[in-house]
A and B are shown apart, each in its own frame.
Chain A
Amino acid sequence: MACNEIWAVARIRDGQITGAGLQLIEAARELAREKGLDARAVLLGCDRATADELAGVVNGVLWLNDERLNEYDAAVHAGALFGLMEARGKPVAIFAGTNDTDSEVVPRLAAMCGAAFASSCVKIRWEGDDLAIRRPVFGGKVYEELALLSRPAMVTVRPGAFDGAQKLAAPGSVEEISVEIPASSGVTVVERASSAQGGQDLSDARRVVAGGRGVSGESYQKVEALADALDGSIAASRALVDAGERPHEQQVGKSGKTISPDLYIACGISGAIHHVLGMNTSKVVVAVNSDPDAPIFAAADLGMVGDVMEILPALAEALRARK
C-alpha cells in the first residue's frame, strides 16, 4: 500500500513550530508540487492548537494525537511513524530535521523498513521519479549527490537549506490518526538541564557570535554581549573548547556542530579548516580579527581588521542604537 504524499516531521519547541520545521514543510511543499503529490506535516503528540498552527502552512496535517508521544523516545517515535506507514501506506518520502532527535529516529526507522536514508541534506531535487539529495561528506571538503531509490526515501535536512514555509491563503485540514504506539524502548530521562546557551539550540539559531583564541578568558564576555545585542547565540572554536573554557555543545567545526545561521560573526578565530567546515554554509559570514592575514577572511563575506576588544563593544553599541 502506498500513498502519494511527502511527509515532513514537525518538531515543536515550547508549542511553536521551529524555524527548521517550517523549512522542512517548505521542502515538502516544493517537491510535492513539482510531481503533483501532497505535502503533509506529521505531528507526534502535542495539542490541537499546534496542529491548527501547522495547518496554516501546509495543506494537510497528520496528527497522531496520543499523549504517549509527548515525551521524546526514539523507539516510540520511530515506531509511531512506522505505524502511520502501515495505516496510511508508504509515502514517497519522509523529511525530518538534522537535529539531535531526528538523527536518532530517522535512521532507526529506515532500518525498520529497509529504506534509503541520507542525512544532512542541503539540496533536494527530483531525478526522474527518484529524489536526489546533495550533502557534505569528508567534513565538507566535497559534496556528494545521491539518488534515493526506495519508497519511502528518508532524508534529514540541514537547517538553512530551504526558506521557511509561508502561510497558506486558506488553512489546510487536520486529520487525527490513531496508530499503534509501541512500548518505550526503556530509555528513561533522569534529568533535563538547559545547557549553557539557556536551552537555545545552536543548530537552530539564526544569528551566531563565535569566539576563538583571540577572546579567551574574560574577553569572551564581549562575545556574549554582542550576541545579546543581536538576540543571537554564542559559539566557540575548538581552541576554547579544548582549553576547557567553553562547553563542547558550543563548538562549531568538524568535531563539533555544523551550523547554517543567517549571520555568523567569527571573533578572534583564525579560521582553521576544521572550524570553517562547521560554518561555511552560513548565509552571511563576518570575520573580526587583529591579523589581516588570518585564513578566516577567506571564508568570510565581510571582514574587519583590528582589536577585537574594541570592535565587539562598538558593534554591539551600534546595533543597539539601531533598534
Chain B
Amino acid sequence: MSLKIAVLIKQVPDHEAIVQIGADGTLDIEDRYVCSFFDEIAIEAALDIRKAHADAEILALSVGGKRSVESLRRAMAMGLDQVEQLGDDSMDGADGLGVASLIAARLKTFNPDLVLAGKQAGDDDMGAVGPMVSGLMGIPLVNAATAIDVDADGGKVRMTHSMNGETWTVESGFPVVVTAQKGLAEPHVPVVMRVMKAMRAKIINTSTEDLGVSAADSTGRLKRLGYYSPPTRPQVQMVGDVNELVAVLAQRGVI
C-alpha cells in the first residue's frame, strides 16, 4: 500500500521581521515572509518518512492568496513535488475553522493516511488548524509530536509528545493528524537549483467553489477589536548582593 501524506503549511512573517502597531491601529509588518517554522519541520518530517517509504505520495496544501503560493514553492524547493493552493486571497482573513474546513474538504478526496501540520503558525500562534481538521474529519489527533515512526504495512504510526510534564509514546492507526513540535525533524536549506526550479513551477489552485466551501463562512466567528503593545516592565532595579535580593523577593511575595 502506498502511503499518502498531506502537509499543511502557511507563509508568515519571519521570526526577525519587525511587527508594530501603525498610527491607524493596524499592524505594520516588515515584508520578510517565510514558511512558518513548525510547518517546515512538518515538511521535513514528511521527507524523512519518504526515505523509508519511497512510494509515499505527499501533497502539500496551503490556503489563501499569493503568499500561500510562496510557501508551496518553499515546500517544492525542499523536495515535495505535489503542492496545491486552496482558495485565494478571499481566504486570507479566514479564521482557523475557515481554513480547516477548506482543508478538510480537499482531504476528503485526497484521502490521506497521515496529515502533518505545524503545531501553530508563526503569525497568530493560535494552534487551531491541525486539531480542527482532526475534529472535522473525526480522526485521531496527536499534537506537538517530537518523534514519529510510520509502519505503513502494519497501518500504524508511533509518536512521542510531551503531555503536561510527561513524555508520552502513543500509537495510532491511519488516518491521523499529527502536528509538529521542534525536534520532530531538522529542516534542511534547499539547494539553489531546486529553489530556481520551484520558482518556475506552475502551482495548481483549487477554488473554494470546487471544494463546496464558501469563503464567507470562513469568518464571522472572531472580530478583531484592536492591537496592543506588549506589557512593559519598569526600569530594572540592580541589587548588590544576594541578601538584598532575597529581601526584595520576600517583599514582593514571590518566595
Contacts and interface: CB of A to CB of B under 8 A. Distances in A.
Contact of B236 (A111, A144, A298): A298
Contact of A103 (B95, B127, B240, B246): B127
Nearest to A140: B230
24 contacts: A78-B135, A104-B131, A107-B96, A107-B131, A110-B97, A112-B135, A114-B221, A118-B222, A136-B125, A137-B123, A186-B140, A188-B171, A193-B166, A194-B165, A248-B162, A251-B182, A283-B254, A284-B252, A298-B236, A300-B236, A301-B237, A302-B248, A303-B237, A311-B242
A311 B162 CA distance: 33
B163 A304 contact: no
Contacts of A199: 165-166
Nearest to A323: B255
Interface string A286-300: 110000000001111
B243 interface: yes
Given A120-B125, A139-B122, A284-B254, A127 B225 contact: yes
B52 interface: no
Interface in B183-231: 183, 220-231
A235 interface: no
Size range of the interface on A? 35 or more
B127 A137 contact: no
A272 B82 CA distance: 38
B89 to A, nearest CB: 20
Contact of B238 (A116, A203, A280, A305): A305
Interface string B123-136: 11111100111111
A197 B165 contact: yes
B254 A207 contact: yes
A302 B237 contact: yes
Nearest to A292: B238
A119 B236 contact: no
Interface stretch (A2-10, A45-53, A314-322): A314-322
B167 A297 contact: no
Contacts of A230: 255
Interface residues of B, number: 79
Contacts of A117: 96-97, 126, 128, 132, 221
A110 B132 contact: yes
Contacts of A103: 127, 131, 143-144
A138 B136 contact: no
A283 B254 CA distance: 9
Contacts of B96: 107, 117
Interface stretch (A22-30, A33-41, A211-219, A255-263): A255-263
Contact of A304 (B15, B146, B245): B245
B246 A201 contact: no
Given A249-B162, A302-B248, 13 more contacts: A74-B134, A107-B127, A142-B227, A148-B221, A149-B221, A189-B168, A201-B164, A254-B15, A263-B255, A274-B15, A304-B240, A318-B245, A322-B246
Nearest to A255: B182
Contacts of B165: 194-195, 197, 199-202, 204
B227 A143 contact: yes
A262 B220 CA distance: 37
A147 interface: yes
Interface string A209-248: 0000000000000000000001000000000000000001
B250 interface: yes
B65 to A, nearest CB: 19
A101 B135 contact: no
Nearest to A258: B125
A199 B224 CA distance: 38
